[in-house]
Amino acid sequence: MKRFSIFAGTVGGLALAGTATAGLNSLSYDLVGEDLVAGTYTVRLYADVDAGDRVDAVYGNSDSSFMINMNGGASTYQNTTYGGATSKSINSAFFAIVPSLEWDSYVTIGCLHSDGYPFGGNALQDIGIDWSGFEAGGDVSSDNGTWFVTPADAQGEEQGGRVLIAQFSIYAGSGDYDMMFSAGFQGKDASGVTWNGADSVQIAVPAPGALALLGLAGIAGRRRRRG
């Protein structure tokens, strides 16, 4: 398996890095709630990693494309006035006057909001991705883009064996699933060795009454690791 370092220049010209046996195990998502924005269900998507690991970047390149693809007429809720494509655009100070902003759809690493909750600071950056389709509630893809933090930023560290990478409020479609998410990932293991991996997950509408039955335990959508 080829392994690359996304911090070696542009994402399209990645340099070879060291190999590692640890790294991305799978992607999973939790159901946060239904009708937090009317007509949607909200999920948070996580990269599952080993204890002591971290995620520094989510990316698309020629080997591992980044893609969000909506299926069967599904779409994502987007607060086009106050929100944005990444957690750096989610200002929690506005939640009291714009409650739906808390449930906007966006990508991240670790942090929920621009204030850095729950880490106290949000150093997320992104480059090379055209978010216009996503911000219109639809698809986005990139073979030369990334959102990332540096290895010194605490928000990349695993919490309970996983790292938050996105939140989506989804208007369900007519297909067997509503969203396909696919990307490459880079991080470090507990000993500081760089790892790379790639995976994808299909996000489906929860069964009727799922939230009442499961509380906030969540629904995990796991796929075999690829890379």
- For the stretch 95-121, pLDDT in tens is 999 999 999 999 999 999 999 999 999
Query: How many angstroms separate the CA atoms of 227 and 57, rounded?
Result: 15
Asked if 187 and 198 touch (Cβ cutoff 8 Å), the reply is: no
Q: Give strand pairing partners of 34.
A: 41
Residue-level pLDDT at 35: 96
Q: What is the pTM of this model?
A: 0.85
Tell me the residue length of the chain.
227
Asked if 6 and 14 touch (Cβ cutoff 8 Å), the reply is: yes
Q: Helices (DSSP H) in the chain: which residue ranges?
A: 132-135, 210-214
- For the stretch 27-38, pLDDT in tens is 999 999 999 999
Domains of the chain and any CATH numbers: 18-214 (2.60.40)
Residue-level pLDDT at 209: 55
Tokens 């655009």 found at: 89
